Each structure stands twice: as C-alpha cells, then as structure tokens.
Amino acid sequence: QDLGLRKSRTSVQAKPCFETGCFVTISIMQSVAVNTSFVTRTAGTAKTGVRAVSLPARRSPVAAFAVRARRAAIGRTSLKCNAAVAAAADPEPPSVDMSSVALSGLEGQALKINSWPTKSEVLNSIPPECFKRDTAKSLMYAAISTALTLGCGALAYFTIPMTMAYWPAWLAYGFVNGTIATGCWVVAHECGHMAFSDNKFIQDAVGYVLHSLLLVPYFSWQRSHAVHHAKTNHLTEGETHVPKVKGENGTSSQKRKEIMGAPLYGVLRLITHLGFGWPAYLLAGVTGGPVRGKTNHFLPFMGDQGKHKLFPGQWEGKVYASDVGIVAAVGGLVYWASVCGASQVALLYGLPYIGVNLWLVLYTWLQHTDVDIPHYDTDEWNFIKGALNTVDRPYGPLLNFLHHGIGSTHVAHHVNSAIPHYHAWKATEAIKKAFPEHYLYDPTPIVPAMWRVATKCIAVQKNGDRYTFAQ
C-alpha cells in the first residue's frame, strides 16, 4: 500500500498509515521522486520493503535530511504497518465460541491460534543434525527392544505356571510384555517412515520382520500411515481417529452416550477402541477417512477406488507382499500351537499382542484428539495446521525409554517423520523455543486424559473456521 508520498516542492505532507493510526510527516525542500513502501503477499504472509529512492545527481543538505527522516519514520512504523497490512489483506477468521468448548490441560491454546508459520519455517528451526540417521544406533535400539521382549517372555515361561490359578499373573504379564513389545512396534514404525537407516534394504528388512511378527502388514500400514501424516486432523481426508460430525454420522454416538450415561459409555468406548480398534482399522478402515470408505489393509481393492484410493498404483503389489509376511507369521504361530499347545501361544504371545494393540491405538488417539483440539475441513486445512495440532504428553521416563519417546516427541515427528527418535528430543526443544505459541504440550496425566477423551470427544461441530468437539 502506498503511504501517499509523491513529488513535492517545499511542502509538508502528513499521510495516515491505514489501520495503525500512525502519521508519517516529511518535509521535502527539493523536487524528489520517492517511491514508498510496498507490500507483497507470499505464502500467506505479508512482507514490506522500500523501493529505491530516485534523487537528482546533486542533493542539497535539506533534501538529504528529508530522505533520512522519511527512512527513519518508516523504520519506526514498519512493525505496525506490517500488522495492519496483514490484517487488511487476510482478515481475522471467525472467532471460536469458547463457551461451547471444554478445556484440557492445554486450556484452549490450540483454539487461540489464528496465524501459522510455513512448513519451511518450522523445518528451518530444527538443527540439521536432527535429520541424520545412524544405522548402528538404530539397530542397537531395535536389538534392545527385541531382547527385552524375548527376555520377559522367557521369564514368564520359566516362573509362572500355566494354570487357571495364576490367571492374574498372566494378565499382568500380558500387559507388561505388551508394553515392552510396543518398543519393537515403534522401531518398525520408524523403518516405515524411513527414519531408521540410509540403507533402504536394512530399513525395510527390519521393519518388515518386526511388524510381521506383530501381525502388522508392513507396507500396507506404511502407506496408510503416510496418509495419516499427510492429512492430520483433516475432517474428511484424515486417516485414523477422524471424528464424527454432530448432526451427521455422529448422531448415533451422541444418543448412545445420552442413553448409557457418560461413565458407562466411556468404559465401553475404551474397551472397543483399545481392545478392538486396531484390527477393526486394519480390516474395515474404522475411524479412517470417510472419503475412502471401508478399506482393508490386506485386500487393496476394498474401499474407494478413485481419487481417494488408499493403495494406488504400485502399492497394490506391496499390500500383497505384506500379506506374505502375515501368512508366514500366522503359520509360525499355528506350528508353535501344534507342538506346544494353543494355551501356551495364547498366554505367551496372545496376551502381549493385545497389549501392543492397546498402546499403539492409545498413542494415536491421544496425540490428535482432545476436547480443545480442532479439526479442519478442506477449505481451512493445511499441513502445518495438522502437524502443529498434534499434542505431546507426559509419558514419563520408563515409557519414553521403552517406546523411544514416541508420545512425548510426537509434534516433531509430525513436522518431519524422517527424524530418528534419538534426535526427536532435540528437535522438540527447537520447535518449542522457536514457536512457543504453537507447540502443544498437555501436562494432564495419561489416565485422566484418556478418560476425558473417551467420555467427551464424541462428535465435532463447526465453530468459527474450524471444528471442535460438541459438549
């Protein structure tokens, strides 16, 4: 925008800088052509600059003083002008009605953000060394998780009798070793994100073996999880834990809660999500993006086969390659049961398997869902909004060790999923320092946070320029 300065001879001009209430007063004693500040719009941000000043070859002292005065005036008002220009060109989005929103430990922080950095700005805030992969270090962490899992299983085999009288001990074992084995799942998850090694063969070999042993179709999941990262918190194109909409597909869930009451409904929801959520997602795309329909991670021809096909092109073949690993793993379990009995397989493998599923669903659920975490439709969504609406939570030193910090460094993981977990802590601190108003950390302990999400995050409704959970 032009401040209004033009050729003048021995004149005094006072022109308002729009929106700011500031005036720039300049005396020009000689005919001087001055091009004033200009504004360009790039990538959603305003940039203000000053064009070259055209002066006669011989400049009087008074004219020189006038130019210096003008430059100083513009310098003093540049910040206010920038803000005014941004506001005029990109008006404030509709305000969020906070009275209709419950608050988490974030205290509505995510709903107060109306301006966003670009993806490159966030990436540039992360030290370059955070993106470097160390194959030896990655293999060490894979070995640690695998050894701990096998060691816990061996300890249970030699110390806990396989009788009904010891069922409480076996349930405890299932939860403990499921918690430990989740570390193997996270390592394979890192392989799928190409954050494990510069050697693609080693990377995919480790990921394929570990995920297949946990009955996860490696390449199929790699593709769907990449979509999850690409469309995080997108209301229709997201993948996993996409919320239902009030008045549309969320009506039945809200009525069920009203009939059952919040406590009973919360218990039922925790059982269905944590106990059956993972196989339901793999087999029928439950909680996946509605635009894709009922997908299947073993049969690539299921679900939408058009624009939003989950497994397009070469991914169809990779789905079948994943199936080979699952068939081999299931065959191994059947052989084990034929030799040692089904009860041994159920206790030593089945119970920890359920524990792993519980943890991976819980992580994904809590990192992207809470009462004051928004979702966006196509018109308002962009990548960085989705990434920075991810939440880090306090899982504590033990779980962060066993699970390689996946729940406490999840924001950095969504900003760039190729960051190895052993660098994610440093990347997290960098993001937190550079963008403190955008970085989300909820100090609520995990169990209360889980209960709040299960009982209050049922369906979203339009609220300003985003969608928030209806209460």
Grouping H, G, I as helix, E, B as strand and the rest as coil, residue 443 is coil
Residue 93, pLDDT score: 57
Q: Give the CA distances from residue 61 to residues 27, 58, 69, 449, in Å, rounded to whole numbers and listed in that order.
A: 12, 10, 12, 69
pTM reported for the whole predicted model: 0.79
Average pLDDT over residues 127-132: 97
Residue 148: other Cβ atoms inside 10 A: 17
Nearest to 362 by CA among 190, 240, 187, 220: 240
More confident residue, 25 or 331: 331
Average pLDDT over residues 428-442: 98
Whether residue 408 is predicted with pLDDT greater than 60 in this model: the reply is yes
Helix, strand and coil percent figures for the chain, each rounded to 5: 55, 10, 35
DSSP 372: T
Q: Please give the span between the terminal C-alpha atoms of the chain, in angstroms, as a whole number.
A: 44
Six-digit token string for 144: 């640690």
Residue 155, pLDDT score: 98
Residue 446: other Cβ atoms inside 10 A: 16
Residue 87, pLDDT score: 43
CA 77 – CA 70 distance, rounded (Å): 11
CA-angle at 225, arms to 224 and 227, nearest 5°: 65
